[in-house]
Structures are given as C-alpha cells and as structure tokens.
Structure 1
Amino acid sequence: MNIRQLEYFLTVAERRSMTLAATILGIAQPTLTKTVRALELELGVKLFERMPRGVELTPYGQSLLRHAEAIKVQFGDAKNEIESLRGGKVGTVTIGAGPAWLRRLLPAAVAKAAAKNPSIRVRIEGGFDDALLRALRHGEVDLVVAELPASDAARDLRMQPLSTDRLGVCCRKDHELTGRRNLAAPELLKYPWAMPPETTRAHQRLKALFTAMDLPPPKAVVETDSLAFLLQMARFSDALTFTVSTTLKLPEAVDLVMLKVPELDAFRSAGIITRKDGWLSPAAEAIVEELVAICEREPTN
C-alpha cells in the first residue's frame, strides 16, 4: 500500500464514482480501476460495491477510509514540516475560527504576529463547531479557535483553554422585555427567535436549557451561520437571539442588550484546538503565542 493508492481510494470514496474520480485525478479510468483493484487484492477484501450509478463503500471500505484520511493528514504535516526545516521559512497557517473570534481577538493576534514576522502567510476560515473540527481533522485547517468540545468527543485533539464566556439572550434595547428583572424563560417563547444552525453548540445548549425546564425549545424563524445577520435581525425586529455576552461589543451589535434571564444563563470554555499528533508551522506557533498573550490580559471573548 502506498500514498498514491490511498489518494486514489480517497477520491473515489469522496466522489462515489470511478469516472468522476478519474477525471479529477487526471488519469484514465482503467488505470484507476486497476489501482483500486490492486489495493483490494492486497487487503483481501472488497472496498467498493459497484452500483447502477457509481460505487458505495463496503464496511471494509468505511474502515479504511477513517485510517486513510488520518494518514493523508499526517503525510501532509510531514511534508510541510520538512519544507519548513529545509527552507527555514516561517511558513503559512490556515486557521478555522468561530464567529466571536473572527471579530475580536484573532485579528489582533494575527496583526501582531505578522508585524513581527513579515513572511507569515495566513488564511482564515470562519464557521461553527462541528464544521470547524471536521476541517481540522481532515487537514483543511491547521488549528481552530472556538468553543472547546467535550473531552470524550475530542480524544484525537489537543485543547488549550483561553477564555470563559457567558452566553445569554439578547434583543434590541427598546424591546418591551428590556429593563425587566429576572425574566422567566416561558415568557420568551411568545417572541420570534434568530439562531445559529441547529447543529451548533449554542443552539443545542439553549434547547437543552428549555427542555430541562419541561418547556418546548424556541422555534427559530431565522437560522443562519452569519453572526452579523443574527445581530441585525435582533436589532431591527422583536426577535431574540442567544449569544456570547462580549458579542455586544461588536459594531454590528449597537443598540442590543442582554436580558436578565437567570434560568438561561450559561457559560462556555473556548480556546485553541489542534490535532493531537499534528505539526504546527512557525507561523502557527507565532499566532498561538500572540493569542495566549492577548487572552491572558482579556480572558473573555
């Protein structure tokens, strides 16, 4: 088994089509079929089931897929590390960042690191929770700054806590609920809600808080992965949203306030997430160093 075989296997597994995979790889389909067949013979199992339209992974193929993805990421790390050692370059870094980090502390850290290391090249990918971790595991980003996942769901990841943040319900400052002390959660159910996607931890956390009180969770009239849109939706309507308290420091959050709803107060731990056995370039290390220094001075985001 070699890297080329694994690359071919991964492309077929992703596209579910020998024809499409061959086109993407820039090789003849018989060559791809022969390579996959040789891999199946070596392993002594069938990796794909040929279907009327394309192919599907067998249980053996699904098992190989998990390992092949990890090998591809580790091989990429090795190549990057060798190139860095050989060239003595600070290098490049791709960072996955949650919405709050994109707008506050991460830009400051990148700016400071770039000022000290002008050869740094940085690419930023925004997103939420599981999408960011999936990109990290697939080697599409080098590190993630976001809410930290539960340890039992991240055994393959290394987590470095940087901040503890409060989450709560916010709305426009002239909303009829503002100024009221100790609002009860049921009172909020008659208002529209604007929320991040249902798969995000913030959405799931709010849902769990209502469920724990034997209340139906709020129904979002708007779901979006754009924090700016959520804030503007709350700003120009009676909609409520659930977000980190420091979000209200953003320009998009002008005229928004946090409501006092003790039953819905929640906290989260956020920080830097990397692959446990992954390699970080000097560029990544420089940004991590600046992030740590900034968060020591300002431990909320």
Structure 2
Amino acid sequence: MIDSRVKFRHLHTFVEVARQKSVVKAADLLNISQPAVTKTIRELEEALGVAVFEREGRGIRITRYGEVFLRHAGAALTALRQGIDSVSQELFDSAPPVRVGALPTVSTRIMPRAMSLFLEERTGSRIKIITGDNAVLLEQLRVGDLDLVVGRLAAPEQMASFSFEHLYSDPIVFAVRAGHPLLAGKRSVFEGLADYPILMPTRGSIIRPIVEQFLIANGVASLPTQVETVSDAFGRAFVRKTDAIWIISSGVIATDVEDGMLAMLPIDTSETKGPVGLTIRADATPSMPQTILMQTLRQAVEEIMPMR
C-alpha cells in the first residue's frame, strides 16, 4: 500500500541530499533552508519506518534502505518528469526535450558540430546541455535528470546500470601559453614543472589518477604550486596570462591550440589516452530526438577526429 504521506517534495529532497551527500548543499540547490530539508527527510523516514541517512564523521551517508529507496525514487521522479514533458508536448506540439551532460573536453570540440547537425534535422526538440564533473553528470543520469552523458569512460564501479559506446580516445596534455619558456627546449620539461604553477584536475575527477600515475612514472613526485580546478574557463584565462601549466584533456584546448592561443609542451602523453563516448542508462529506451542526437555526435566525431 502506498503511504499517502510520501509527497513529491519528499522524493525530490531525498534524491538531492543523496546526490550531494550533504544537507547544506542540497538546501542551497533546492533554494530552501537547511532545517526545512532536515524536516522533510525526517518526515520521509517516519513514513517509510526506516532511516535513509546516517551520520558519518561530520557528514552523512545513505543507508542500505536508502540505497534501495533511491532507485525507486529516482525512477518515480523520472516518470513524473516524462509525464509533464508529454503534457507539454501535447500542449505545444513539440518533441520531448533532450537533456545532455557533456564534459568540457566534448563541449568545446565535438558538441558544437553535433548540435549544428542536430538542428539541421528540425526535430523541434528542446535541448538542455550541462557541463560538469564526470561523477556529477553520471549521478544526474542515474536519477533521471539527464538522458545522455558524453564523456570519459568512468571506473567500473561507477558504470553499474549504464551502457557505454566508445567514440574516440583522448590523451591528457600539458598546455601553456604561446611563448612559454619551456617551449624553447633548453631544459627537460619534467625538471622544469616545479618552477611554475600547475593547474591540476580536482581530486575525484576521472583523469586525476591518470595524471598522478603519469607524473610519478616520469620522476615527478610532487609539485610545490598546484591549483585544482575543473573550470575550463578559468584554466584558459589563467594560462593565457601567466606561465602556469594546465594539465588537461586535449579536447578541451584543441581549438585554442589551432588558433595559436595555447601550445602543448613536447611530452609524449599517448599512454594517458582514455575512451570518450556516450553513456545512457542500460534500461532506457532513447526517444527519437535522443537517437538523432547520438547519430550527430557520431558524425561529428567522424568529421573532426577521423583517425580517432
């Protein structure tokens, strides 16, 4: 029997707290007070008869019962959103929206061409493109806030219930401004890294372990001046104006290199190549607009990176 005390706000709040692993962050995103979030979670736990979160140090973590409920809560929210979209489609005679998560490496190089091809198909579908960290995008995909993620293949434990289609492989590079001292080749690049600020991918990002392994393998045990960021806008602006070195996926700065605004240090990083592709929920059936967008992404890759 469905407990009538469980409302949409309970599901929405629960899923957001589970996604953020923080009541404070969830409250900010939901634009409500922290006590209101706490009260809503307590109401949900009273209705379910079990705890869905428990304290872990200064934070919280989801319980076993919460994990079980999350799968159904996410599915319920997805179904509700699809119902709303269907009504909107009937009202406005438009195709259902396509919600895409894209890593910066895809957003700056592949997605613009794919979107141009998609718009030529005149599906009438609304498109929503979100960029961000791979783990965040996959979680949004898992709970139904996204229909498709275009990015690097995540670790096996993160890919449960997902289906991945490989499009191309992307290496990590060391990007600098044009005219950077290390481009002169007068000294070893790896010996010179410690003399400059280094923009590193954040801890927890999908390429951070690859970067760390590559540096260690080349005799770089530590870097004294590091700035961690996943912001391509900041990275691009900072590197252009300073002697900083940006360790980033090559696709993010490919256009800047072509335009002569940035350059890549002469380092063989071929061993850092990682698969980039399409990730969808394994149990999802793509709509026609989603299918067309996936086709245009494949075509864009063929045009821009024919050798892959």
| Same fold per superposition (TM over 0.5) | yes
Task: Point out the more displaced range, 4-13 or 282-291.
Answer: 4-13
Give the Cα–Cα distance (whole angstroms) in 2 for the partners of residues 246 and 18 of structure 1: 39
Deviation (angstroms), 1:123: 0.8
Give the Cα–Cα distance (whole angstroms) in 2 for the partners of residues 57 and 152 of structure 1: 17
8 Å contact from structure 1 (residues 93, 122) kept in 2: yes
Deviation (angstroms), 1:69: 3.7
Deviations 1:242-288 (A, max 9, x none): 12334443258743111122368521210111111123222211111
Q: Who is 2:67 aligned against?
A: 63
Q: Who is 1:43 aligned against?
A: none
Deviation (angstroms), 1:139: 1.4
Task: Point out the more displaced range, 60-69 or 145-154.
Answer: 60-69
Give the Cα–Cα distance (whole angstroms) in 1 for the partners of residues 100 and 215 of structure 2: 34
Q: Who is 2:30 aligned against?
A: none
8 Å contact from structure 2 (residues 101, 129) kept in 1: yes
Give the Cα–Cα distance (whole angstroms) in 1 for the partners of residues 285 and 77 of structure 2: 10
Cα pair distance change 1:7/1:84, threshold 3 Å: closer
Task: Point out the more displaced range, 114-123 or 2-11.
Answer: 2-11
8 Å contact from structure 2 (residues 167, 278) kept in 1: yes
Aligned: 1:139 with 2:144: yes
Deviation (angstroms), 1:6: 7.2
Aligned: 1:266 with 2:272: yes
Deviation (angstroms), 1:144: 0.7
* Unaligned ranges ≥5, structure 2: 18-22, 25-32
Deviations 1:128-153 (A, max 9, x none): 21111111112111111111213343
Q: Who is 2:176 aligned against?
A: 171
8 Å contact from structure 2 (residues 101, 137) kept in 1: yes
Deviation (angstroms), 1:22: 9.7
8 Å contact from structure 2 (residues 189, 265) kept in 1: no
SS of alignment partner, residue 194 of structure 1 = strand
Deviations 1:131-187 (A, max 9, x none): 111111121111111112133431211111111122211212211110428935243
Number of corresponding residues: 285
Task: Point out the more displaced range, 164-173 or 93-102.
Answer: 164-173
Give the Cα–Cα distance (whole angstroms) in 2 for the partners of residues 266 and 50 of structure 1: 38
1:75-90 alignment, distance < 5 Å: 75-76=79-80, 79=83, 90=95
Cα pair distance change 1:18/1:205, threshold 3 Å: closer
SS of alignment partner, residue 262 of structure 1 = coil
Task: Point out the more displaced range, 141-150 or 199-208.
Answer: 199-208
1:39-188 alignment, distance < 5 Å: 39-40=48-49, 46-47=50-51, 59-72=63-76, 75-76=79-80, 79=83, 90-180=95-185, 183=188, 185-188=190-193
Task: Point out the more displaced range, 264-273 or 232-241.
Answer: 264-273
Give the Cα–Cα distance (whole angstroms) in 1 for the partners of residues 3 and 167 of structure 2: 37
Task: Using the aligned pairs only, state the percent identity.
Answer: 20
Give the Cα–Cα distance (whole angstroms) in 2 for the partners of residues 219 and 12 of structure 1: 41
1:277-288 alignment, distance < 5 Å: 277-288=283-294
Larger radius of gyration: 1
Q: Tell me the TM-score normalized by structure 2.
A: 0.75
Give the Cα–Cα distance (whole angstroms) in 1 for the partners of residues 218 and 304 of structure 2: 34
Aligned: 1:20 with 2:24: no
Give the Cα–Cα distance (whole angstroms) in 2 for the partners of residues 200 and 209 of structure 1: 15
Cα pair distance change 1:178/1:281, threshold 3 Å: same
Give the Cα–Cα distance (whole angstroms) in 1 for the partners of residues 62 and 276 of structure 2: 38
Task: Point out the more displaced range, 69-78 or 121-130.
Answer: 69-78
Give the Cα–Cα distance (whole angstroms) in 1 for the partners of residues 68 and 107 of structure 2: 35
Aligned: 1:197 with 2:202: yes
Aligned: 1:242 with 2:258: no
* Unaligned ranges ≥5, structure 1: 41-45
SS of alignment partner, residue 48 of structure 2 = helix
The one-letter code sitting in structure 1 at the alignment partner of 2:172 is: L
Cα pair distance change 1:181/1:291, threshold 3 Å: farther
Q: Tell me the TM-score normalized by structure 1.
A: 0.77
The one-letter code sitting in structure 2 at the alignment partner of 1:20 is: A
Aligned: 1:296 with 2:305: no
8 Å contact from structure 1 (residues 170, 242) kept in 2: yes
SS of alignment partner, residue 178 of structure 1 = helix
8 Å contact from structure 2 (residues 196, 244) kept in 1: yes
